[in-house]
Structure 1
Amino acid sequence: MSTNTVSSALASPAVEEIPWNRKKASPAKIAGTIIGYLSMVVVSAFVLLPFFWMVLSSLKPNNEVYAIPIKWFPSVWHWENYATIWTKSDMTTWLLNTVFFAVIVTLLQVFTGSFAAYGFSKIPFRGRTTLFLIYIATMAVPWQAYMIPQFKLVSAVGLSDTRWSIILLQAFGAFGVFMMKQFYDTIPEDLSEAARLDGLSEFGIYWRVVLPLSGPSLAALAIITFTNTWNDYMGPLIYLRSQKLYTIQLGLKLFISQYNADFAMIMTGSVISVLPILIVFLLGQKQFIAGIATSGMKG
């Protein structure tokens, strides 16, 4: 092919790129698009409205929080509420405990989930499918069904009212194994075979070949685990007795019992408890969406 032909081919636009050759959208399609966008705006407003009200209520005078009719914006903006709550409560301890539990559990859940998923996906052994199905079937058992036996077991080994009671019980989960296996099944087996021929062990293949390819799925699992651990209320309520171990959820419950009429401060504490989760999700939303898409869990 001559240089002139190549240049003319590169210079000439595609037929569909020429404005007058584009097919005009029908009125029905335009109307459907408008209705779709309006529906999403309405649903988004419905979801965000409670959070918006909570943030505004945290800045109101106390007598305006539940005023009737609803007064959305405060007459006086009390920004000092976000400083006062640190002196009225043990917020620093609660947040540090929650961050500790959320980070440790997330790291362990990501490692154990991805490691077990590699075995189920890439290492053939007798009964693999049956064992995986039995393990995944535990997701269908509600936690309330084995809550009491689990508490007795933890108490019997002396781990009740310790950090280990929360860490060990949440560091392993079938959901993470299921999610990561869905992704590992999409990785070509040729990569693992080539690594075995190069002399890598199974752990080496997992660590140096499979894990670097799992970034989006690992990020999605980390966000889900971090959010669940941060918002967990029943686990700390059952196993933690000492106030020095309280998480933000237990701390807010204690704060409400002490200041049950100070609604503005209660809203302030609620905003502080939600804000870290919002930041984590906003920072990792691209990885979260990519991880859900690549793990075969799309709705």
Structure 2
Amino acid sequence: MPLKLRALTGYVLAAITVAPLLWLLVTVLKPKEELFKLALPSTITFDNIIYVLTEVPIGKYMLNSAIVSVAVTVIALVLHSMAAYALARLSFPGRQVIFSIIVSTMLVSLPVILVPLFLVAKELGLLDTFAGLILPAIFHAFGIFMLRQYYLSIPRELEEAADLDGCGYLRRWWQVIVPLSRPILASLAVLFFLANWNAFLWPLTATRDPDLRMVQAGIATLQGQYGSSWNYILAATLVAAVPTLIAFVIGQRRLVEAIKTSGLK
């Protein structure tokens, strides 16, 4: 593809991606009576955002989402990294079969297992708890797959040097592999955080307590309470999108580097 055409394609895709966010921002700054007019606002108002921040418990919803997202991200990175290291370096019977089974779970979507997952969570007493929101979201085959691909690219000589110093598998993983895998861990941290911040179906199913609502489920409840006040619903959506934009801007470089070094095209 010629360089100019490639650049033009990039600009077009960037515009398509950014356009909905700009439309959301412009709409939120409009007065209520101009909400559905396809034009710039006659006057810019922050009343919609101020109302959401003061009258709607959006802060509580965002705090719950932050707790769940950070907890899932930290626990998942540790467990996924250990599992990926075992699949990449340890030799044991059935290793390839186990890896194939793990990867095959990416073909199963959440709606397929929603009812069994709900019944298990109910039997374990995990409904309406932070544990019920965190534990089911920890495992994801994509993280294990990317980490395994990255670990396969790390020279074994580095681990052999640690082996000469008397390091076992656990110390090799912690002192050699983890420091070398900071780019991929950072990129996965961004992906896990964004995925759990935007989670909707499971948090809506697993919680009835308003104090445990995550931000996306909280915004969904506003559609019933403020069914005709789309200015408030859009303002809440804009406020909830700010942390995800910050996380993406901070981690986008690491994300691209990780995709390149993990062998993905």
Q: Tell me the TM-score normalised to structure 1 length.
A: 0.85
Match of 1:180 among 139, 142, 147: 147
Partner residue, 2:157: 190
CA distance in 1, matches of 2:43, 2:228: 19
The answer to whether the aligner puts 1:202 opposite 2:202 as a matched pair is: no
Partner residue, 1:47: 17
CA distance in 2, matches of 1:196, 1:40: 47
8 A contact 2:200–2:217 mirrored in 1? yes
Partner residue, 2:199: 232
8 A contact 2:85–2:151 mirrored in 1? yes
The answer to whether the aligner puts 1:133 opposite 2:100 as a matched pair is: yes
Partner residue, 1:99: 66
CA distance in 2, matches of 1:34, 1:214: 35
8 A contact 2:102–2:141 mirrored in 1? yes
SS at match of 2:181: helix
Partner residue, 1:76: 43
Give % identity. 33
8 A contact 1:58–1:266 mirrored in 2? no
Q: Deviations over 1:103-149 (max 9, x none)?
A: 00010111111110011111111211111111221111222222211
CA distance in 2, matches of 1:285, 1:96: 23
8 A contact 2:143–2:188 mirrored in 1? yes
Partner residue, 1:25: none
CA distance in 1, matches of 2:143, 2:12: 33
Q: Aligned pairs, how many?
A: 265
The answer to whether the aligner puts 1:170 opposite 2:140 as a matched pair is: no
Of 135-144 and 195-204, more deviation after overlay is shown by: 135-144
The 3 A distance-change label for structure 1 pair 189 and 48 is same
Q: Tell me the TM-score normalised to structure 2 length.
A: 0.96
Partner residue, 1:116: 83
Partner residue, 2:26: 56
Cα RMSD over matched residues? 1.4
Q: What displacement does 1:163 show?
A: 0.8
Q: What displacement does 1:255 show?
A: 1.6
